[in-house]
Chain A
């Protein structure tokens, strides 16, 4: 993850379009200016960034389900829990699950684990709307490719086709 660029999601581990779930892996960098202040001599990933990692994983799932035809913006975090410290070098696996895909919004659940141990969880509401700028959609498609988001139809996902081989219908 590149904290200074808010690129929190590193890699897609699994996508299930039917179950509407996504699993991501996200490595906390060893070094970042953030750790100089948070905290001197005791570097910790800030809790708000754990929420951001969960929100971005939820967002990547929602965008994929919507075939990248709409942008998702974080609207609220409910029942958020930060259960233990996360430190540089640790890998956070996030599991995101769609709860309800509403009109103009979606509610998802997410949880983060380090070596199997639950470190954070929350319910996330994302507002959806048409992309406000075309370059934003392009950036997110590049992000999907970077993190290895499978882009095939459900039956093809076993081959984990990369984003560049996508079947986008709204280009």
Chain B
């Protein structure tokens, strides 16, 4: 998780021009860092490429829109990184 977070934080800092020190595991990508959906596509692309996965953005968005999940579950960075680790584990299983 820690190395995953470092990679994700660096991607966000570079993609969105956000100072790296402002990005913590507790940061909410939307509410705290102000990342919009278009910028998140660039982040998703960089994450997909860096980890060799495919973030299921569509199903996450659908779950949030239907009230089945909260944005915190997917967009607080420590939770996002946990999801990424799950996807990496599933890929190598």
Contact = CB atoms under 8 A, between A and B. Distances in A.
The size class of the interface chain B forms with chain A is: 10 to 19
Contact of A76 (B41, B56, B58): B41
Contacts of B58: 103-104
B48 interface: yes
Interface of B: 38, 41-42, 44-45, 48-49, 54-59, 61
Interface of A: 75-76, 100, 102-105, 107, 125, 127
A102 B38 contact: no
Contacts of B44: 102-103, 105
Closest 7 CB pairs of A and B: A104-B58, A103-B57, A103-B58, A105-B41, A104-B57, A103-B56, A107-B45
B42 to A, nearest CB: 8
Given A100-B48, A100-B49, A125 B57 contact: no
A61 to B, nearest CB: 17
A102 B54 contact: yes
A127 B55 CA distance: 14
Nearest to B41: A105
Contacts of A127: 41
30 contacts: A75-B41, A76-B38, A76-B41, A76-B42, A100-B45, A100-B48, A100-B49, A102-B41, A102-B44, A102-B45, A102-B48, A102-B54, A102-B55, A102-B57, A103-B44, A103-B54, A103-B55, A103-B56, A103-B57, A103-B58, A104-B57, A104-B58, A104-B61, A105-B41, A105-B44, A105-B45, A105-B57, A125-B41, A125-B45, A127-B41
